[in-house]
Structure 1
Amino acid sequence: MAEFNKLAQAFEYYFQCAPDVMTRAPGRVNLIGEHTDYNQGFVFPAAINFGTDVAVGRRDDRIISAVAMDYSGATSYFSMDDIRFDQAQPWSNYVRGVLKVLSETYDFNGVNMIITGNVPQGAGLSSSASLEIAVLKAVASLYKLPLSGVEAALIGQRAENEFVGCSCGIMDQLISALGKAGNALLLDCQSLAYEYHPINPDYQVVIVNSNVKRGLVDSEYNLRREQCEEAASLLGVESLRAATMDQLYAGRERMSDPVFRRARHVISENDRTLAMGRALEESDYRIVSQLMAESHRSMREDFEITIEPVDTLVAIIDEVIGTQGGVRMTGGGFGGCVVALVPKELVPSVENAVSVEYHARTGIRESLYICTAEQGAFSETSLDENC
């Protein structure tokens, strides 16, 4: 692929030899299943055609030399025997974290590494998980480590939780590792069982960033999580995954109204996510439209995580596609992106409507990405003479 040719040239520029392995890992978008992951529920992401590329070469010592092309060639240089958090270069902590966790299970030597990517930063498309999985895939391929996709995802999640300090779920890393071209992945966050469901090739995934910075997401995310845990406790279940709507309504009097509505979102969202799998299998986009609309309404009214510009984007796109496709907010909320499944012939109309109407109604300029569902992380061995 052309990106790998440029990556190999950059590696040779920095390290004066050809790379041994080049790897790509995609970002992702979640089609449905929001705030269900930490409730042990179901999510439905797809890997997208934006990702992180990593080229690596062997070293004879224990040193990691990592170059970030997208940060003006900034280099992080550290020993595998002394991996510490780097305040000065935050990007390097994703590299440091996954290698630290990987080294607890596998033995490998030092690595020369160059990194670049095109996952839009701050758009909620999981650039961090893409980086983590790309690094893990590259090093595992380089040293022939028997690392499975699920194991890589768990290592990436642990590195982000414990080393970087972000309490993410498993979805982002798993879809980056295990995505399948033309498909979305229905993931059970409790068992890590997963199955693929096809996206009709006559449809495209359209992602629109509202460009509203998600300023409240940390505190509000933690509050929503606490409210879900409170609801589960009051219902006598380990997590809301185990609760039914009948149980919820039977226990309503024991809950505050916000806690009840948070739980109602999670329980109903799990049902919608499972129904989405059936709808995609049958290519029934009228049902897809209904499920995504109900998901957005639930996030707006029960989970209370949408904001007016995001609701406006959903309304603009819905006016164009109607029941021929689906649209909803995606991600943590309080800003960020909407995702739409759009018939290819309507994509130009969606682009035009969003370009004209969104700024007119909100005064904000959006960023729009036309995406396809792509395969997960893969690597390519260099045929050139290496170091």
Structure 2
Amino acid sequence: MNLKEKTRALFAEIFGYPATHTIQAPGRVNLIGEHTDYNDGFVLPCAIDYQTVISCAPRDDRTVRVIAADYDNQVDEFSLDAPIVTHDSQQWSNYVRGVVKHLQQRNNANAFGGVDMVISGNVPQGAGLSSSASLEVAVGTVFQQLYHLPLDGAQIALNGQEAENQFVGCNCGIMDQLISALGKKDHALLIDCRTLGAKAVSMPKGVAVVIINSNFKRTLVGSEYNTRREQCETGARFFQQPALRDVSLEAFNAVASELDPVVAKRVRHVLSENARTVEAASALEKGDLQRMGQLMAESHASMRDDFEITVPQIDTLVDIVKATIGDQGGVRMTGGGFGGCVVALIPEDLVPAVQQAVAQQYEAKTGIKETFYVCKPSQGAGQC
């Protein structure tokens, strides 16, 4: 039974009437462009065929009732006429409540009424594949579709980001929500994180998007993420610019020795990564997998040596994949760092060899068993 059938069946069983709509919003993987989003830079993600699915129906009152199928059918119920506050014990509820609260602030508070919904998803949690953004965009799309709210995908994405930053209390850039809302089948999206402009970039035929979770438990990710942001802001102030987006590599190289050495390394990563990301979009469009692979390798080295966010387990995974594929594609760490996943772009016929090499070597070298996902670049949020 797929997620649509599962949520529709559960909806009818629990609420006693059929759902009118089923909405999906995908997770994502970032092919290149890491820690550039909060520096007003460029990213190149694609939506993946793992998603959050919500079967829903409008109510004729002001109550929102939510069932989380993946959490033993836990229930949340709240009124649109009372102040929406955080839930004491159910963290998943806060993503739903935050999205609804920010939708109220963004629209006339009476622009929409109550909703019944059943939520389920298969985006792996804690793997850096944006299960939270997928949930936020799915909930936003539910209200937009049921009540015909005048919101486009970018606005639904921004609403989700606001909910995560201000209501849930987690700092995040805009990329995750934007690709979930705007993803396009068989394409990646080159996103300008300053203007939120997005350009669809076609993916070469016969290329698989492989995601391998190192299953190394990320512990430093929150504190170190905030430190990296501060270091980037310090760098931008040094150049008297609003963001590192506005600094050229030439300007940086001329004065790099005057910067604090650690800040200089962080800045160099962001500037070089922005340039790589723009070039990667054109390499993908031309189907130049060899150049894409070189850019991904440079990106990984920059994250390892300049931004210092990889861990030995991730570097080991990258080395195993690289040794198997040679110059036929690319591999790098993806996501915030300190564990999480690597992403590889490889010809489909090489997938079994890569899977076998990783299975034979990774656990033997690290003592941890990986999880292997083969994904397709998928469509963004909408009815399913």
Please state which band the TM-score falls in when normalised by the shorter chain. Answer: over 0.9
The answer (yes or no) to whether the contact 1:56–1:139 under 8 Å persists in 2 is no
State the alpha-carbon separation in 1 of the partners of residues 353 and 154 from structure 2: 39
**Who is 1:96 aligned against?**
97
Q: CA deviation at 1:84?
A: 0.8
Q: CA deviation at 1:253?
A: 2.8
Which moved further from structure 2: 81-90 or 306-315?
A: 81-90
State the alpha-carbon separation in 2 of the partners of residues 44 and 307 from structure 1: 23
**Who is 2:148 aligned against?**
144
Deviation per CA, 1:331-375, whole angstroms, max 9, x where unpaired? 010110000001000000011011110011111101111100000
Deviation per CA, 1:292-341, whole angstroms, max 9, x where unpaired? 00000000000000000000000000011111101000001011000000
The answer (yes or no) to whether the contact 1:316–1:353 under 8 Å persists in 2 is yes
Q: Equivalent residue of 2:327, what SS?
A: helix
State the alpha-carbon separation in 1 of the partners of residues 246 and 5 from structure 2: 49
**Who is 1:273 aligned against?**
277
The answer (yes or no) to whether the contact 1:179–1:374 under 8 Å persists in 2 is yes
The answer (yes or no) to whether the contact 1:234–1:251 under 8 Å persists in 2 is no
State the alpha-carbon separation in 2 of the partners of residues 143 and 217 from structure 1: 38
**1:338 equivalent among 330, 338, 342:** 342
Kindly provide the amino acid, as one letter, of the partner of residue 129 in structure 1: A
**Who is 2:50 aligned against?**
50
**Who is 2:17 aligned against?**
17
State the alpha-carbon separation in 1 of the partners of residues 117 and 320 from structure 2: 43
**1:200 equivalent among 201, 204, 214:** 204
Deviation per CA, 1:33-90, whole angstroms, max 9, x where unpaired? 0000010000011000000000111212111110000000000011112211012110
State the alpha-carbon separation in 2 of the partners of residues 173 and 307 from structure 1: 26
State the alpha-carbon separation in 2 of the partners of residues 84 and 320 from structure 1: 51
State the alpha-carbon separation in 1 of the partners of residues 58 and 185 from structure 2: 30
Q: CA deviation at 1:2?
A: 4.4
**Who is 1:384 aligned against?**
none
Q: Equivalent residue of 2:326, what SS?
A: helix
State the alpha-carbon separation in 2 of the partners of residues 147 and 20 from structure 1: 20
**2:266 equivalent among 253, 262, 269:** 262
State the alpha-carbon separation in 1 of the partners of residues 206 and 360 from structure 2: 25
State the alpha-carbon separation in 1 of the partners of residues 308 and 62 from structure 2: 49
1:1-387 paired onto structure 2 within 5 Å? 2-82=2-82, 83-104=84-105, 105-106=107-108, 107-380=111-384
4+ aligned runs moved over 6 Å, structure 1: none
Instruction: Give the TM-score taking structure 2 as reference length.
Output: 0.97
State the alpha-carbon separation in 2 of the partners of residues 289 and 255 from structure 1: 31
Q: CA deviation at 1:13?
A: 0.5
Kindly provide the amino acid, as one letter, of the partner of residue 152 in structure 1: I
Kindly provide the amino acid, as one letter, of the partner of residue 239 in structure 1: A
State the alpha-carbon separation in 2 of the partners of residues 325 and 109 from structure 1: 49
Q: CA deviation at 1:8?
A: 1.2
Q: Equivalent residue of 1:196, what SS?
A: strand
State the alpha-carbon separation in 2 of the partners of residues 241 and 269 from structure 1: 11
The answer (yes or no) to whether the contact 2:133–2:176 under 8 Å persists in 1 is yes
Q: CA deviation at 1:151?
A: 0.6
Aligned length: 380
The answer (yes or no) to whether the contact 1:217–1:333 under 8 Å persists in 2 is yes
Q: CA deviation at 1:136?
A: 1.1
Deviation per CA, 1:142-187, whole angstroms, max 9, x where unpaired? 1122220011001001111110101111100000000000000000
State the alpha-carbon separation in 2 of the partners of residues 271 and 322 from structure 1: 23
State the alpha-carbon separation in 2 of the partners of residues 172 and 300 from structure 1: 22
The answer (yes or no) to whether the contact 1:235–1:251 under 8 Å persists in 2 is no
Change (3 A) 1:269 1:163: same
The answer (yes or no) to whether the contact 2:244–2:271 under 8 Å persists in 1 is yes
State the alpha-carbon separation in 2 of the partners of residues 164 and 81 from structure 1: 20
Q: Equivalent residue of 1:57, what SS?
A: strand
Instruction: Give the TM-score taking structure 1 as reference length.
Output: 0.97
Kindly provide the amino acid, as one letter, of the partner of residue 380 in structure 2: G
State the alpha-carbon separation in 1 of the partners of residues 237 and 149 from structure 2: 42
The answer (yes or no) to whether the contact 2:7–2:69 under 8 Å persists in 1 is no
Deviation per CA, 1:187-221, whole angstroms, max 9, x where unpaired? 00011111011111201100001011110011111
State the alpha-carbon separation in 2 of the partners of residues 262 and 144 from structure 1: 44
The answer (yes or no) to whether the contact 2:59–2:113 under 8 Å persists in 1 is yes
Q: Equivalent residue of 1:181, what SS?
A: coil
State the alpha-carbon separation in 2 of the partners of residues 103 and 223 from structure 1: 33
Structure 1 residues without counterparts, runs of 5 or longer:
381-387
Kindly provide the amino acid, as one letter, of the partner of residue 262 in structure 1: R
Kindly provide the amino acid, as one letter, of the partner of residue 131 in structure 1: L
**Who is 1:385 aligned against?**
none
Report the aligned-residue RMSD.
1.0
